[in-house]
Structure 1
C-alpha cells in the first residue's frame, strides 16, 4: 500500500517536498539526505563548468561549457544553445543583468561578448588593448547600480557605467594583474572585493584606490591543520598551490536590514580556504575536515533559513557545519565528484559538473537537517505557482465580468447619442394621369407618369449624452455582474488558500498514514481542478510553463 502511495505522489512534482518528509519518517537516518536531480537533459555538452540564474526570473538558467552557452526558460527541462565560441576561444564566465534580464555578458579568452535579446544576437563588447586584456576571466553586474559592470582580465580590471558600451581602467592597483573573481557586500556602501591570482583587494566602487586585504604569500597554508584533522584531506596535486578561486560575503544582517557585526568573508583557493570575521582585517584557515581535498573551485553563501556555505570541489559539493567545524558532503543523486561551479535561488542550489547540471531542493535539504525555514522561505517554495492576484484576474477575464466591461457599456450608451436615426419614406399615387399631346399630334391622348412621393428624416437624441433609457438596463446588468464577480472571486480565494494550506501542511506536518496522505493529495488535485475550471485551464498551464523540477 505504501509503495503504491509513494508512486502516486511522485506523479505530481508539486508534492515532492511533502513526499520527501514522509519518507524521512519511514527511513533510516543514513538515507535521509536530499537527492540531486539532473536538469540538463538535451544539452549537447555535458562537461559544464559554469551556471547562472536570472535574478529577475529564477526559472531562467544559463549553463556553459568551454565552447558554448546554453539557456533554459523552464527551470532546466529544455535547453537551447545561445552562444558558441570560434577558433580556440573558451568561455570563462557569464553574468546576467539583474535589471535587464535579456542583457547578458559572456567572458571568453578572446574578449567579452554581450547580448540584449536573450542570446539571439551577440556583439563583442570588449577587445582589450593587449592579449592579456583580451583574456577575460570574470564579469560582474553591480546588483544595486543599473548599467555598472566590472570586468576582470589577465591584464587588469575594467569598469563600465553604461552597460558595457565603454570601459575604463579600475585603478592602477589592479592594472596588469590577473583578476580571477569579483564579489560585493550587499550592505551599503557595497564594498567590492577583487581576487587576483594571489591577493584580495577591497574598495568602494566609486573609489580610485584599492586596499590589499589578503595575500597567499603572507598567509600560512591551511594544509597542516587539515592533515591533523583528517588524513582524507589531501592536496590536489593537479592544481596550482597558490591561486585564489572565489570569495563569499556574509554581511551578518540584523533583522535583514542593518549590519549587526563586521562582515564575515570566506575565501577559497586551489589549495585551501580561509575566513575572516572582521571584514578582512585578520584571516584564519578554514577547516578541511570532511572535504577530502584541499582544492575548492567555487563557494557561495545561501542567505536563507539559515545562512549556509556551500563549496564545489573535485570531490563533489559540500556544506559547512560551523558548529561541528567540519564539512558534510552532499552526494546523494550526484553521479560525479567533479563539481565546478555553484549558483542558487531562494530554494534551489545548482551545481555545474563534468556530467551535466544538477539541482538540489534547499527546502528539503534544510528540513532533512532539522533547520526549519521561516514562513517567507517556506512559501518561497511555491514561487513557480501563480499569485492569488494573477489567478483572480484571469478568472474575472475568463468569465467576462471585468469592471472595464461595465464602463465600456456606459460609454457606448452615451456615444449612441452621436449616431442619428435615419428614416426613408415613400408613397405612390395609383391614379392614372392623362393629357393631350401638346406636340406634333395634338389629337393623341397621352398617359403620364404615376405620382411618387418620398422623403428622408435624420434625428439625434442629444439628451442621451446625459442620460438614456439604456443606462437603466446597464444598471441592472452591472448589479448582476458585480454579484457574479464577487462570487467568482470568493470561490477563487477560498480554493487558492485552502490548496496552499494543504501544501504547507504536507511539508510541515506530513501524515504518517498513507490513507491520510492520499486524502490530502486528492483534495489538492480537486482544488487545482476547481481553479482550472474558473480560469479555463490557465492555472495548471501557468504552473507547467513556469517549470519546476
Structure 2
C-alpha cells in the first residue's frame, strides 16, 4: 500500500500537467488566429426592414406630392429680398461709397465786370484818342475729385456696424424660415403617411403657410396655387 500511494500521486500529477499543457496550446492558437472580418454596412442603402414606419416607396410618393412647392432655398431668397437683410446689400453700399470718389464735385460761378479799352488813332489830319468801356460776363467752373475715397470712405465705419447687425438679423431670418419650412413638411408627411387627423396639427400647417407667405411677400402661396 505504501508503494501504490506514490504511484497514484504521480499519475494524478501527470494528468494535471497534460491538461494544463493542452490549455496553453489552445490559448496560443487563438491568439495567433486571424480575426473574422467585421460585417460591412452600406450607409447609402439602409435596411428599411429595421426602420419603423412606412417604407421608402410610400415616402417617395408622399414627397412627390409636394414637388410643385418651392424649395427651401427659394423661400430663403425671397425672404431675404423682402427683408433686405442680406449682407451683400451692405457690401454693395460700401462699394458705392468708395466709387463716389470718381464722381467730381462741380461748382459753377459767374462774374460780371467792366473792361476799359484805351486806343489811340493818329493821322496827318486827325489826332485823337478813343476811350471805350464794355461790360464783361465771365463763366467759371471747378471740378473736384476725391480720389482718397477709393481707398477708404468715411462712411465705412458706420456701414460696418450696419453690416454686423444685418448679418445677425439675416442668420436669425434663415433659421426661422428653415425651421418653419421643415416643420410644415413633417406635419404634412405625418398627415399623409400616418393618417394624422389632429386638428391642432392641421391648424399649425395653415399657420406656418401664412407665416412663410408673409416672409416672402406673398410669393410662397402664389407658387403653390399655380398647381
Name the TM-score class by shorter chain: 0.5 to 0.7
- Judging by fraction of residues, say which structure has more strand: 1
Alignment counterpart, residue 387 of structure 1, candidates 67, 71, 77: 71
Q: For each residue in 1:232-281, what CA deviation from the matched residue of structure 2 results, as whole angstroms up to 9, or x when unmatched?
A: xxxxxxxxxxxxxxxxxxxxxx96979xxxxxxxxxxxxxxxxxxxxxxx
| Partner residue in 2 for 1:398 | 82
Map of 1:424 onto structure 2: 108
Secondary structure, aligned partner of 1:449: strand
TM-score by length of 1: 0.28
From 484, 489, 500, give the equivalent of 2:169.
484
Equivalent residue of 1:455, what SS? strand
| TM-score normalised by structure 2 residue count | 0.61
Query: Which residue of structure 2 aligns with residue 540 of structure 1?
Result: 221
Once the two structures are superposed, residues 348-370 of structure 1 have per-residue CA deviations (whole angstroms, 9 ceiling, x without a partner) of xxxxxxxxxxxxxxxxxxxxxxx
**Contact 1:436-1:442 within 8 A present in 2 as well:** no
Asked if 1:373 corresponds to 2:58, the answer is no
List aligned pairs for 1:139-538, cutoff 5 A: 372-374=54-56, 377=60, 378-429=62-113, 442=128, 446=132, 448-511=133-196, 516-517=198-199, 519-538=200-219
Q: What is the CA distance between 1:467 and its match in structure 2? A: 0.6
Deviation for aligned residue 1:403: 3.4
Q: CA deviation at 1:453?
A: 4.7
* Structure 2 partner of 1:219: none
Query: Where does residue 237 of structure 1 map in the other structure?
Result: none
Q: CA deviation at 1:531?
A: 0.6
1:448-490 CA deviation, whole Å, 9 max, x = no partner? 2234454332232221121111322322332333233233223
- Residue aligning to 1:319: none
Cα distance in 2 for partners of 1:527, 1:424 equals 59
Q: Which runs of 5+ in 2 are unaligned?
A: 1-40
2:59–2:193 CA contact under 8 A, matched in 1:
no
**Alpha-carbon distance between aligned partners in 2 of 1:403 and 1:501, rounded to the nearest angstrom:** 30
- What is aligned with 2:3? none
CA distance in 1, matches of 2:210, 2:55: 29
Counterpart Cα distance in 2 of 1:420 and 1:491: 45
Computing the radius of gyration from Cα coordinates, the structure with the larger value is 2
Indicate how the Cα distance of structure 1 residues 389 and 436 shifts in structure 2: closer, same or farther if over 3 A, else same. Answer: closer
Conserved 8 A contact 1:437-1:443: yes
3-state secondary structure, aligned to 1:531: helix
Deviation at 1:530, TM superposition (A): 1.0
Q: CA deviation at 1:376?
A: 5.4
For residue 155 of structure 2, give the secondary structure of its aligned residue in structure 1. Answer: helix
Q: Secondary structure at the match of 2:54?
A: coil
How far apart are residue 540 of structure 1 and its match? 1.9
Instruction: Tell me by how many angstroms 1:405 deviates.
Output: 2.1
Say if 2:102 and 2:147, in contact at 8 Å, map to a contact too: yes
* Contact kept? 1:488, 1:534, Cα under 8 Å: no
Check 1:495–1:444 CA distance in 2 against 1; reply closer, same or farther (3 A cut): same
Q: How many residues align?
A: 176
Higher helix share: 2
Gaps (5+ residues) in structure 1? 1-253, 259-304, 307-370
